[in-house]
Amino acid sequence: SSPHTQTVQLQLEKVPERDSHGQRVMVKDSAGGLAPKLLTGFRFAGGIDQDRQYCPYGYPDCGIYVTHVYSGSPADKAGLRVHDKILQVNGNNLAFLGHAQVAALLNRETQLSLLVHRGFQRFTTQLSDSLGSEARVSASVLL
């Protein structure tokens, strides 16, 4: 791995979502009872079933990428960052899972052990020719 990339293990413990009055938000559980809705505090894009050309930030593959981390959330406290590529959740490899499968996996457990790769960079440069024509070129690279 280059000096600009690293693979890190993060531990994330979800917290109950609260409404505007500070009360826990409840949802039906698999047994038909009520359980608190738990938050991870991040959004992601990707999955083997997603069309890469519509993925935000122009990620270079169909991996699972963090697109937003809410300030003060469990994800923020665990050290998750925007553009982290999530490789595994609780030992489960995400390489060949669809978006909904990853969401279900993230929702299944209260505590998440995430293996993430850091190293996505987007480069943009301005080019011009001798006649003064200009073009902007962008490339996304997973280092």
Under 8 Å between Cβ of 78 and 12: yes
Tokens of 125: 């440069």
CATH of the domain at 111: 2.30.42.10
Confirm whether 10 is domain-assigned: yes
- What pLDDT is attached to residue 131? 76
Is it the case that residue 21 has pLDDT exceeding 60?
A: yes
Question: Is the model more confident about 111 or about 141?
Answer: 111
- What pLDDT is attached to residue 4? 67
Question: Is the model more confident about 52 or about 102?
Answer: 102
Confirm whether 1 is domain-assigned: no
Confirm whether 24 is domain-assigned: yes
Structural domain of 19 = 6-142
Round to whole Å and give the CA distance between 81 and 32: 35
- What pLDDT is attached to residue 133? 72
> What average pLDDT does the structure give for the chain?
86
Question: Is the model more confident about 136 or about 16?
Answer: 16
How many domains are there within the chain?
1
